[in-house]
Structure 1
Amino acid sequence: MSAILGTQTVGTGRSAYFPRPRLVERKRLTVQPDGNSRLVYLTDPEGLAVESYRLLRRRLCTLHPEGGVVLMTSPAPGEGKTLTSMNLAWALAEANHATCLLDLDFRAPGMSRVLDYGFDEGGVVEVLEGEVGFDDALRQLGDHPLDALGIKRRLSSPGHLFQSTAMNRMIASLRTMYKWTVLDFAPVIPMADVSEMLPYVDGAILVVRAGKTEKSMLEPAMNAIGTKLWGVVVNDCTINGSAYYGDYGKRR
């Protein structure tokens, strides 16, 4: 019943295919609350941190009411971009926006680790290489319209995937299936992955951490993203003596 949008052979001799939207019963991911995880929708659903993500969602939806594919990155590892990606995706789905959370940090897939993603069929790499169907690999997260696709097999050199027709077809399919697609991506420095992925996305959000991100790395990261930069999220701010997770501001 699903139309095939296109195929692309990548390495294995198999073809990747991506269907148009259809109603399916997806396997669910069970996420256990962990006080140290900063998955604030689970650990502190009424707290200030959750409200900060709701504010981020409102600003994002006001500026981009049509939705889109947004790449989440950071100047360097350890800035909090994975948990910001996850909590933002949860916030979007909470508002009944159909959302997909995708782990595309092939070298260090933090989202898949935090979620303890189950790989009965496979992950992003297996989908792109045609070893498993797209619908089969997606998982439902929580009770909101939120699906997730993780990484089973790490890659030290994922450049061939960014340049593949399969990647283009996957992103095109995601656009038809979801209002928002949140990509948890690799840091800007020192890899060139971000520049290869930017043509596929509508915009990028740069995640930095107060007291950690070096100013000398911030400007090069912003320049690398260029006109696709939608804004900057500052983690671990302090407002009136309270910890605050996110502040979303447009580039000036």
Structure 2
Amino acid sequence: MDLKDVMHAVRAGWTRIAAGVLLGLLVAGALSLLSTPQYSSTTRLFVSAASAPDTSAAYEGDLFSQERVASYAEMLTMEVLAARVVDDLGLSLTPEQVARKVTATVVPETVLLDVTVTDTSAERARDIAASLGRQFRAEVARLESPAGAGSPTIEVTTLQPAQLDRDVVSPDVPRNLALGAVLGLLAGVALALLRRRLDNTVKSREHVQEITGKGLIGSVPQDPRLDQAHVIAVEGGYTGSAEAFRGIRTSLQFLDVDHPPRVIVVTSSVPGEGKTTLAVNLAAALGQSGSRVMLVEADLRRPRVTRYMGLIGGAGLTNVLAGSAELAEVTQPWRDGNVTVLAAGPMPPSPSEMLGSAQMRALLETLRTTHDFVVVDSPPLLPVTDAAVLAALADGCVVTAWSGVTRREVLAEAVATLSRVGARCLGVVLNGVRHSTALGQGYGYGYEADPDRGGPSSATVSVRARRRRWGRIGRARVPAPLVPAVRSESGRTAS
């Protein structure tokens, strides 16, 4: 993972990072509020040698005191002195408990001792510190008095007596909050990096090239308007989604100047990756440029084209293939007439066989002679075989994928399926692109015939999706690898 990946992970996971900081602050604040306030009192002691007759003796006495002072610091925290303090003050604490409240430190390069007592009571902390100073002076006098001598060689003087201090020393709320924020920040960043590391979805041009060996024809940003309007490629002016569809149109027109694809199948790996939305907008964009376009609704199991374009979905493709209707009788012009739509028609018992029939091949050849472009909206590749059959009859196939949702192995299997049937993959279109990871929830899907269309159901794809705040990624069981949870054809609806 390079710096670019790290920055992308941080940018995409900023909500989790912010949540980590907030959680750290909340935990630190809660712990601070639940902690019992602690108070402290400090007494400062001066350790010196007995008065010396000359300067040399005084210097030696000072060195002797410095050697002793480290040992005295240890002695101050021993239970022997603590027991005397308990007796002196009549405390209800054990010597061990008192000893744990005491901290003794030596001021560097001096003979000064700072004795600090921390307790839940400010008064008791002061009393223990004062008593400890007295007991310590008495013990040093006893230990440092030579046998038979009247005065000790070391004297301990109280320079600063213990004072009553009602300022709380623990918990240190500002410090705890700062520490909680830092730990939360680190946890959030670590989670974002881990998710980036474990993420196996398609997100970029580099991913598409690496997985499929094909180029990225274009990318379509997330646009809530696609949920209602569905067809926005003909909007005037500049909008992100409309311009994206026009860019895809241009890319396909100049994909192969000598042999440009004219019969184009639009499909996806699994349902919910925006294939129908791409098909209708690609047809609209081609028609807007002045080309004569036939849009074929070849997803016989779940037709959506006519509904998206506001047309009637009665007789159509299956009637023409069955010989029960002429092509001119069932086609419908759309808007200015440059785009003509051939609806799906009634669902046949075996959609795959009908779409791979000689009649379908002949129909596509006929449409090639009468139109500049033929755009075919097909079912997804992995759940059923319809798309692979159609792709083998066309000049090329465009595969859609949903950014941050489609798994890499799923897209790779879809492209491999096209290769196995000898179909030409023109490239990939990445839908739902945005800077941060898509939010939402996953849900299960099955690719079957609509209940109101009758006929036997197709092969289904069962999904076990995981609901996640940070994105919609599920797992599916298909004849190929795992597949993601579905997403809508037009931004959020399934097809």
TM value normalised by structure 1: 0.75
Query: How far off its partner does 1:35 sit?
Result: 6.2
Equivalent pair of 1:109/1:154 in contact (CA under 8 Å) = no
Equivalent pair of 2:398/2:428 in contact (CA under 8 Å) = yes
Distance 1:90 1:173 in 2: 21
Sort the Cα spacing of 1:164 and 1:209 in 2 relative to 1 into closer, same or farther, 3 A.
Answer: same
Sort the Cα spacing of 1:234 and 1:44 in 2 relative to 1 into closer, same or farther, 3 A.
Answer: farther
Q: Corresponding residue for 2:229?
A: 37
Q: Corresponding residue for 2:299?
A: 105
Equivalent pair of 1:204/1:228 in contact (CA under 8 Å) = yes
Equivalent pair of 1:203/1:230 in contact (CA under 8 Å) = yes
Q: Corresponding residue for 1:186?
A: 379
Q: Corresponding residue for 1:211?
A: 404
Larger fraction in helix: 2
1:199-243 deviation line (CA, Å, top 9, x unaligned): 2101000001112212231110011112510000000112699xx
Distance 1:147 1:103 in 2: 11
Distance 1:235 1:45 in 2: 21
Q: Corresponding residue for 1:124?
A: 317
Q: Which amino acid aligns with 2:433?
A: C
**Structure 2: runs of 5+ lacking an equivalent:** 1-224, 438-495
Runs of 4 or more above 4 Å deviation: 42-45
Distance 1:112 1:137 in 2: 12
Q: Corresponding residue for 2:334?
A: 141
Cα RMSD for the two superposed structures: 2.3
Pick aligned residue for 2:248 from 56, 64, 68: 56
Q: Which amino acid aligns with 1:225?
A: L
Q: Which moved more, 1:188-197 or 1:127-136?
A: 188-197
**Structure 1: runs of 5+ lacking an equivalent:** 1-32, 242-252
Equivalent pair of 2:234/2:288 in contact (CA under 8 Å) = no
Which is higher, the Rg of structure 1 or of structure 2? Answer: 2
Equivalent pair of 2:280/2:309 in contact (CA under 8 Å) = no
Query: How far off its partner does 1:148 sit?
Result: 0.6
Query: How far off its partner does 1:131 sit?
Result: 1.2
Sort the Cα spacing of 1:210 and 1:156 in 2 relative to 1 into closer, same or farther, 3 A.
Answer: farther
SS of 2:273's equivalent? coil
1:91-143 deviation line (CA, Å, top 9, x unaligned): 111111111110101111121332343256x1111111111110111111111
SS of 2:312's equivalent? coil
Sort the Cα spacing of 1:77 and 1:161 in 2 relative to 1 into closer, same or farther, 3 A.
Answer: same
Q: Which moved more, 1:169-178 or 1:190-199?
A: 190-199
Q: Corresponding residue for 2:195?
A: none
Question: How many residues end up aligned between the 2 structures?
Answer: 208
Q: Corresponding residue for 1:20?
A: none
Distance 2:366 2:246 in 1: 27
Sort the Cα spacing of 1:127 and 1:45 in 2 relative to 1 into closer, same or farther, 3 A.
Answer: farther
Equivalent pair of 1:75/1:208 in contact (CA under 8 Å) = yes
Q: Corresponding residue for 1:94?
A: 288
1:11-42 deviation line (CA, Å, top 9, x unaligned): xxxxxxxxxxxxxxxxxxxxxx9862332136
Query: How far off its partner does 1:46 sit?
Result: 3.5
SS of 2:301's equivalent? coil
